[in-house]
């Protein structure tokens, strides 16, 4: 994929988002009660239009660039598989951890989750390091938040989260 094509896709998607946003803002937001002509939908609608205008300028700019410099400059795609791995690892952990916290509670899910991530995803083999990291994060944050700062973290619906 070339840089020009990437910009076309980006600004095209943003133009579409702007159009959908404008349509939703102007059709779904009810009129207010203040009596002012600046209604609750005015600000979001204006922003949607502004996004469309800026995206159109961006599209025009990328076309101008193509006319001037051609469409030969390709995007560096090396390391794409590692990048996808990084995305999957990050969002996979965040989602599983957040969902698990509701059922198992903060302490249990942190100790198990961090240990599992280190072992399976990061492929760490030092049990001491894995135990130290998972217990420090789990117990340390639990004591700091729940006991010292008075900010309570989820205990879990199964009642195992202390």
Partner 1 sequence: MTAAAVAFEPHSLLALVLGSFFGLAFGCIPGLTYTMALALILPLTFTLEPMMAIGVLVSTYVGGASGGTVAAILVGVPGTPSSAATVADGYALAKAGKASITIAMATICSTLGGLFSLLVMVASVQALSNVALAFGPAEIFALVVFGMATICGLAEQSLVRGLIGGVIGLMVMTIGQDPIDGVSRLTFGNVNLLQGVDLLVAMIGLFAVPQVVSTLFEHKSGSSTIVDGKSVKVELPKLGYIWGYRWNILRSSILGTVIGAIPGTSGTISAFLAYSQEKRLAKNPENWGKGDMGGVVAPETANNAVTGGAMIPMLGLGIPGDPATALILGGLLIHGIQPGALLFVEAPDVVYSLYMFYGLAYVLVTVIMLFGVHLFVQALKIPPHLLAVAIMVLCVVGSYSLRNSMFDVGSMIVVGFFGYLLQKARIPLTPILLGLVLGPAMEREFRTAMIMSGDSYSILLSPIALLFFGMALLVIVMSLVGMVRSRVPKTA
List interacting residues with partner 1 (CB under 8 A): 6, 10, 14, 21, 24-25, 28-30, 32-38, 40-41, 43-44, 47-48, 50-51, 54-55, 57-58, 61, 79, 82-83, 85-87, 89-91, 93-95, 97-98, 101-102, 106, 110, 114, 117-118, 122, 129, 133, 137, 141, 144-145, 148-154
Smallest gap, in angstroms, from Cβ of residue 72 to partner 1?
A: 19
Transcribe 140-161 into DSSP letters: IHHIIIIIII--PPP--TTS--
* CB closer to partner 1 out of 43 and 162: 43
- 44 within 8 A of 32, measured Cβ to Cβ: no
Distance between CA atoms of residues 63 and 13, nearest Å: 16
Residue reference for tokens 């999957």 = 88
Distance between CA atoms of residues 136 and 145, nearest Å: 13
* CB closer to partner 1 out of 31 and 72: 31
Smallest gap, in angstroms, from Cβ of residue 13 to partner 1?
A: 9
* CB closer to partner 1 out of 88 and 160: 88
Smallest gap, in angstroms, from Cβ of residue 70 to partner 1?
A: 19
Smallest gap, in angstroms, from Cβ of residue 31 to partner 1?
A: 8
- 21 within 8 A of 51, measured Cβ to Cβ: yes
Distance between CA atoms of residues 125 and 85, nearest Å: 20
* CB closer to partner 1 out of 51 and 131: 51
- 154 within 8 A of 103, measured Cβ to Cβ: no
């Amino acid at each position: 994929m070339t840089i020009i094509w990437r910009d076309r896709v980006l600004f095209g998607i943003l133009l579409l988002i702007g159009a959908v946003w404008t349509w939703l803002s102007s059709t779904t937001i009810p009129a207010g009660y203040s009596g002012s002509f600046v209604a609750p939908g005015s600000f979001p609608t204006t922003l949607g239009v502004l996004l469309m205008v800026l995206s159109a300028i961006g599209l025009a700019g990328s076309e101008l660039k193509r006319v001037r410099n051609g469409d030969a400059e390709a995007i560096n795609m090396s390391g794409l598989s590692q990048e996808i791995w990084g995305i999957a690892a990050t969002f996979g952990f965040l989602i599983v951890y957040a969902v698990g916290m509701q059922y198992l509670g903060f302490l249990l899910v942190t100790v198990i989750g961090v240990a599992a991530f280190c072992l399976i995803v990061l492929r760490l083999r030092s049990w001491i390091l894995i135990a130290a990291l998972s217990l420090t994060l789990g117990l340390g944050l639990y004591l700091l938040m729940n006991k010292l700062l008075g900010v309570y973290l989820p205990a879990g619906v199964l009642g195992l989260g202390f």
